[in-house]
Amino acid sequence: MKKAIAAFLRHLARERNASAHTVRAYGEDLAQFSTHLREELGREATPADVDHLMIRAFLARLHRARLKKTSAARKLAALRTFFRFLCREGVLESNPARPLLSPRTERRMPTHLDEGEVSRLLDIRPESDADLRARAALELLYATGVRCAELVRLDLAEVDLEARMIRVLGKGSKERIVPFGGRALEALTAYLPARLRAAPRTDALFLNARGGRLTDRSIRLILRRQLQKAALARRVSPHTLRHSFATHLLEKGADLRAIQELLGHASLSTTQRYTHVDTRHILEVYNKAHPRAR
């Protein structure tokens, strides 16, 4: 089982271009399942040992431990993907996780900042090269809606200042072109001279103090510091800026298909979550503006 899991994790990282966070999460879920199998069988398990009843027993164990349904659903999704990979590689003939239904979970609405909060967050007056980098990174996150992992993977060659476009390598190694606006252009133009002075022969767009590529964690730290400076008492992650990007586009009348392309969603149903957010916004506007709303 350990060899099969290692092969799957390499496949995720190298062929599917999954983020380090995703690979780590899958690894932890599969290691937990492998431990469960060892305890049940009294020996190291092989992929051929696993059937849907063993997976069901694993889910029952998670339920008894009072694990959240969302977490249990994620672990089952990891097992489905793992066994699907083994089927494709010819290790198994059928996927033992396929017959099982995911635990029913409440669909959480994406949290987002309003336009005023975004303005406060991005009001960075640079006093150092680190401030220039912070402003460029956060402006680009909001201007393009890219994932944090996609942002830190950007190279200098993938940024076209003249056309105001970036070339993004997304999930599944799918490439897309995303435009950005004047504020992001201004921030990038101010940041790039300092970036090129620091490491002219390095490809990465955003560098750390040692000249290496900036990580997801570094972006989160930059965002956390800026939240404190802006006195925004909210839980905000880089993904919140992605949700804000999509929500504000929809509120301004952007087409849902266009937003899907910009976000790099494989399915329109994923993008349709933002229609619920927009409906709430419309109701707020109606209640405030219509003379007979109350």
Which residues participate in catalysis according to the annotation? 147, 171, 239, 242, 265, 274
The answer to whether residues 94 and 58 touch, using CB atoms and an 8 Å cutoff, is no
Distance of CA 59 to the CA centre of its chain: 25
Q: Which two tokens stand for residue 221?
A: 């730290």
Beta-ladder partners of 176:
168
The answer to whether residues 181 and 164 touch, using CB atoms and an 8 Å cutoff, is yes
Q: Which two tokens stand for residue 195?
A: 């970036």
CA distance 122 to 145: 15
Q: Which two tokens stand for residue 196?
A: 């090129």
CA distance 247 to 145: 10
The residue among 232, 229, 280, 1 whose CA lies nearest residue 125 is 229
CA distance 97 to 95: 5
The answer to whether residues 97 and 80 touch, using CB atoms and an 8 Å cutoff, is yes
Burial tier of 290 (Cβ tally within 10 Å: 0-12, 13-18, 19+): exposed
